Structure 1
């Protein structure tokens, strides 16, 4: 490629880094692509780094060494995370979201790519220190949220199924007891999906008593993985004692008044 203008390079750099969060790009690759010296490229990257910091859009990290480079880590500030979760809580509090049985309609939120991308970045911020190498969820509504989280981390997504699939090879299956209805159900995971010793972060859309999350923890242990965290978008305030010891909710559902069409849901932090 012919030598590009400074403005064009910086726009292209930002676009490439934002499209591949967590991916490490070598300076040689950028230098060759744009036809500029590394010193010039370093100035461009410093300008991108400063702009990201000024507008709280993430952090540009530099990894030194022969195999090093730069990557964009889309961390959110606490202020940005709280603003997003407050807006989500208000959206979920709409009276027309209450459906018979005291449930909330959430499908449009869970299947919104823009919203889930932002929530995935909140989970990245909350669990970055846990250093997972796989994201795990259970089919089906939790998949978009977990996928967005996996993209933010630049990690593979593993989906636990309610039953095994012959197309996925040998699977490990367990029976677990749902926390709310106390029914026995089955979940399975292909053996090749998670290598032994993997560090797994569990992400799900909703938790009431924690039975499904507890089942995923047990299943991860069965395949030799270690669960380093559990994140859920919405957790109910009751029952207060869940079947998992530790989890991180983003929103707390304190109650649904079906008769008066009122929902009490708030950011957890």
Structure 2
């Protein structure tokens, strides 16, 4: 339908925000708004500048006959630091420490705004990577996994403790929980992953890292590739069963059961982006 520029800019912005990491051709927008490609190109320049100034990501231009753009969500460092500070204060307030050294986070994980922002932060770390699938283990990691997936435009698979008849044949492994030292089971439908797929692991909480290691072993059973791992909160353990992972926050408990939360390894993996060169692609 024919639109004025103001209308095109609003609709175009909404469409791109809803379709991250997807090539959108100039022809698509031209037909959608019944406008010349030259006008669409000028509109995209305005959208690109607005995305960059607002810190919501950038547009990668695709050259060639087909032409088009890709919207890549990305959180700038100052915004990430401010959000993590807010999240740290939220988790440090009240009586959140649970028996066994766990942290009560159900209220945080139930807030869509927080979940969306956490997904944006984690997705920013992997903005330049080719992620095919996101995996998590039931249950509290599920909202985080979908929040990240919505920003990377990837499917989610969920490892469960037992198989379900509705999922068909499954692959099952046993792993040792790093915190309880008990043997646990983890299953995933055979149709979940394909050989060579690059898989990102997401979880909400990590103590020693046994669950993360279990998911890594499960991914390898499919001949897929572990592209990375990210958790919302990790405990400040001396020994971990995994390495090379991203954590947003780190939890420590003093002898007097005093809770302390600080930044995790997030900024060790954060990459500054040259907005004009789009150097992550």
2:253 to 236, 255, 258: 255
The answer to whether the 8 A contact 2:72-2:127 is kept is no
CA contact (8 A) 2:145 2:203 kept: yes
* CA 214–102 in structure 1, closer or farther in 2 if over 3 Å, else same: closer
1:190 aligned partner: 189
Q: Can you give the 5+ residue segments of structure 1 that lack an aligned partner in the other structure?
A: none
Q: CA deviation at 1:246?
A: 1.8
**Separation (CA, whole Å) in 2 of partners of 1:102 and 1:204:** 17
Post-superposition Cα deviations, 1:148-204, rounded to whole Å, max 9, x if no partner, equal 111110011111111111111111000000001100010011111100111111011
CA contact (8 A) 2:115 2:144 kept: yes
1:137-156 paired onto structure 2 within 5 Å = 137-156=136-155
Change (3 A) 1:256 1:160: farther
1:8 aligns with 2:4: no
How far 1:4 moved relative to its partner?
A: 1.0
**Which residue among 243, 246, 255 is the counterpart of 1:245?**
243
| Within-5 A mapping of 1:47-126 | 47-126=46-125
Q: Do the aligned residues in 1 keep the contact of 2:134 with 2:155 (CA within 8 Å)?
A: yes
Give the deviation of 1:66 after TM superposition. Answer: 4.5
Residues 130, 34 of structure 1: alpha-carbon distance in 2 compared, 3 angstrom cutoff: closer
TM-score normalised to the size of structure 2? 0.90
Shift in CA distance, 119/98, structure 1 to aligned 2, threshold 3 Å? same
Paired residue secondary structure (1:95) = coil
The alignment's TM-score, normalised by the length of structure 1, stands at 0.93
Counterpart for residue 263 of structure 2? 267
Instruction: Find the counterpart in structure 2 of residue 158 from structure 1.
Output: 157
**How far apart, in 2, do the equivalents of 1:219 and 1:245 lie?**
17
Q: Deviations over 1:39-81 (max 9, x none)?
A: 0011111001001111111111222234542222111111111
How much does 1:99 deviate? Answer: 4.0
Post-superposition offset of 1:258: 7.1
Say whether residues 1:209 and 2:208 are aligned partners: yes
In the alignment, structure 2 segments of 5+ residues that lack a partner are 268-281
The Cα offsets for residues 66-116 of structure 1, whole Å up to 9 and x where unpaired, read as 454222211111111111111101100012333455532101211222211
Greater Cα shift, 137-146 or 77-86: 77-86
Secondary structure of 2:136 counterpart: strand
Which structure would you say has the larger RCO, counting Cα contacts within 8 Å and 6 or more residues apart?
1
